[in-house]
Each structure stands twice: as structure tokens, then as C-alpha cells.
Structure 1
């Protein structure tokens, strides 16, 4: 086995064993958890600082001191320390159990006894460690940091079954990492987790997921994702909406494109998005439907831009509607002449021309 394959194997082994150990701790089987902890070391995949912190935190919340002692001994031998708030929590756990905290202080010689007073402990008791999901969040971050996305998938499935809600920042990060690795299934799993638990992803996460689906020619979930994105208060914007509609047209998905258009707020149903939809039907070979959309646009008082005429002329010529194409070619020439006398051009028209003012319909 070469070095790369060995590294991948080690990473997978680390994450699988870590996930198993955390799940065992959650069920109160501390002896089994420590056995896995030892096997990890024997396998050469030693638990790191983050894993030790999570394990100690779980044990503290359960009031179990003897597993903490075992973990602290390992930390002492490997020069690892707890985060300060967690050190305080462990200190309180030993105190509540009436046990000595000598080993805890040996592992943390940099923390003086004088700086630990009742006020600081009380202040810590009100922070986010009271939320059980913080433990699961920490484990997900560890796995994500190690790029073990299969383990992340498994853990998310487990948490989803338990209906545990994570935060938007973490879920959005998982979507981004999965999309960066072209893992459509992993990104979709995270998205569905967010929908089930009512988590609003960041706008960039929705966009990354949509882009990943388009690149992989997976279009079945795009409409649902756009609708969900809109319902959470995020907007595609005119440029991205027009581009998405056009790309769906290129993929011969006119129904999906029309649904995306219909889901847009009224202020984004403008010359750019209408032009994109016209191009969708031309690409699908239905010239009459494309012309119908164009006429609807005109009835709503929306004027065509240079990009609109480029789509009309190119699309009609491709579908052998030469007479219609010639009519719009003349209107296009007239528009170009009038353009010299216009003081300003609306942003929607600029976007339309940017996307369609060249021969983009093929």
C-alpha cells in the first residue's frame, strides 16, 4: 500500500472509530468507549485534542469522573489540554463527585489556582455547553475538518433520526465542502436535514448546491431548492435567476425553467428573466411558446433589449421561422439607433444584454 492509500485508510479508520466511540458514550457505555479509545491508539490513529475535549465534555455532563481520569492520563502523556471553559466544567465535576482533581491540574499547569473563582464558574454554567447539540456539533466539525465526508453523512443521518437541530453556519459549511468535492448526495443529505429541522442555510450554500446540481446534470431537486431558498428570505437575484433559467433551457428542462420563473418575486420578472424563458422554449423547439412568452412580456409593459432581440432572431432562424426572424431583426436595428439617444439603461437591460446580446443560443 502506497503512502497516499495508507493516509486515506488511516483517516477513514480514525473517523469510523471516533464516531462509534461518541455514539457509545451517548448510551452510557463508558467501558466500551474507553476500549475503543485504546484500540485507536493501538491502531496508530491517536485521538486528537478536539476528540478528547468532546469526550470529557460528554462525561462531565453525565457526572462520570472515572472515564475522565483515563482520558486525562492520555492527554498528559501526549501533551494535550482542555479548553479553559471545559477545564472549569471538569473541575466542577470532580468537586461535585467529592474526588481529587490533582491529575486535572497536572495536565493544565498553565492554569493557576488563583484564577479559578466561583464567579467565573457560575459564568461558565450559563453558556452553550448546556445545549446537548453542542457535543454533536463539535464532532461534526472534527470530521469535517478531517475531510471525512462519509463519516459526516453517517453522523448526520443518525442526528436526523434523533431530530437534533444543528446551526446554520455548520450546515452551510457541510454543503460547501460537499459541493467542492462534487458530492451531490452528501450536499443533498445536508440540505434535506436542514429542511426537516427548520434550519435556514446561508444564501451561498443554496447557490453552491444549485451550481453543483447543474454541473452534475441533476435537475430534479433544483426547483424545490430554489423555492426553499426563497421561503427563507434569500433571493436569487435577476442575474442568477436569468442564468439558471437559461441553463435549464440548454438542458432541455423547460418545465423546471418555467417553475423557477414562476417562483420569482414580481420585481425579478423583468426583461432579463423573460428573455431567458423565451430562449428556453426556442431551445426546446417550441417557437410558438417562446413567442407567446415574449408577447406576455410586452403586454406587461416590459420593453425588449438588444439581448432579447438576439435571442429572438437566433432562435427563430434555428427553427426555420425566417419571416419572423426578419421582423425582429429590423426591430433590433431600430433599437440600436434609438440607444444612442437614451440617457441611461436600467440594470435589468444591462444584465439581459450581458447574458444574451451575443449569439448565445445554440
Structure 2
């Protein structure tokens, strides 16, 4: 089969189109023909950082975590899927797991689910990593009817899914964005847009919560922005973050009694820990999609397999809206 292989870590030019062996089914796994995959920030981190990142695969490697495709072979012990099923998931591209930047992929059956029927392969490939991340964070924080939820970065990958799911769970949702295009997307997905370039945290907390703060803050920006999340959260509120690789003064979180939820959705893949939970979440997401309550946004620029470097550059530019997708 053809695959985009990297033989060294580095810039967007490291990908090479090569012929490699097609994977064979093994117990508990399926082989699938990949239709599409999407680029996540962690894919770029692996490509750039290599061995400095503990989850990076050994070289040569095939990256790409998310996928949508059709099962071509079913391994021993797999009863929930059959040949011909259209599925999606996040099941490779790190550690010893071959990724989705190839014509075929081997996937643990616990890490996949039947693809939502109402969306395309490209849209389905955009959903797994960000969908699981958003779902896990919101459910851990116990988001429910009547709460006010703030999503930082609502036009990005995780953010645009998190704000739709928060709506689905019954919350009143607000989201920050940095320009007219981002705010337009946020509003179209059902949240009240906040321009963080113009409005201070104090100002929008006063305007939308009467100064009380948001019950839940989903911070998909992370880093130093977590201090803004602490400031925006209500007393005894919940803060969810996907980017917490930093040293931070937690004094404000302490005095407000905040609960902090760090979401690192790669744990089941890396440690073979409760992988079936991911399959269950993907099944739940597919149901919500087919109810018309969740729609992954695909960036206007879609790339082919031999344009993976350009796809990485597009995501790295910060200009993409929603998810950057590669068709195989």
C-alpha cells in the first residue's frame, strides 16, 4: 500500500510517499481502508519534537491519529463489526501504533465506532480526537441544564465541538474568538461570541454573569490563558483544560475553590487503559450527530495524501477554521 512516511522528525517537508506492507488483521483488531484523516496539534508536535515527546513513534513512522474508513478485514474475537462497516476513530499515529496517513490501517476494535450516517467521511474523520476530548471534559465537569459555560477558543478543533456539546447538555454557552470570522462561526454553532481582543475577562464576566462567573470554563487554549479561565470561573466552579504543560500559580484557583480537570485523551491508546470507553464515546457522538445536534466543521482547504506537509502547514498557520482534513 501507499503511505506517507517520515524517516526523520522536523519540518513539514519530512513526509515521503512510499510503498509499505499492508497490515494484516490480528485478534481484537480490524483492518480498514482509510477514506480520510485529520490533522491535530499533537500530530504536529510529534513531527516537530520527535524523541523529546514521550509518545512519539520510532522511525520510520506513519503519523495520523484520526480516521474514517471502511472495514476490509476483521480479526479473531471481534464481534461488533463486520467487513463493509463504515467506521471512525482515533487509533494510531503514536507509540507503536501505525497511523492513518496510509491506504490501510490496523485499529483496535475498542477504539472505533460505526461512523455517523448523516455526515461524510471527511467530516467523520474530523471528529474523533476533538470529540472525545470535548465529551470527556464536559462530562467530567458534570455540565448540565441551566449552567453557564464558557469555551475558550470556540472556533478551533476541540472548542467548536465543546460548545455544541455543552449546548446539547442544556447549558447556556459563551465562547471567545479573536476576529469576525471566528465569532461568526461561534455564533452559528449556538454560542454567544466574545471578542477576547476587545473585552477583558472582568468585562465579559460582568456582562454575562452579573459578575458571578461561569459555572464551567472549557479552556482549549490553555497555557497562560488558564489564568483567564480561573478569573472567569465562578466560586467552586469547574475548569477544564487540554493544554497544561506549564508552571502556574494556583493561588486564584485555591481561593475560588475551583476544580481543575486536565484532559489527555491519548491515555487509552498509549497505555492500553480502558480503550473501550473511547469506542463508547464515539458511539454516543455518532448518535448526537445523527440527531442533528453536532456537526464537525471542516476547514475550506482539504488536502490529498501527498499534500500532508501542506495540511500541517495550514493548521500551524492558525488560519484554519475547524479541522484540517486529508483525503486518502
Q: So what's the TM-score if we normalise by structure 1?
A: 0.24
Q: So what's the TM-score if we normalise by structure 2?
A: 0.26
Query: Could you say which structure has the higher strand fraction?
Result: 2
Query: Could you say which structure has the higher helix fraction?
Result: 1
Task: Name which structure has the greater RCO, CA cutoff 8 Å, separation 6+.
Answer: 2
Q: Which has the larger radius of gyration?
A: 1
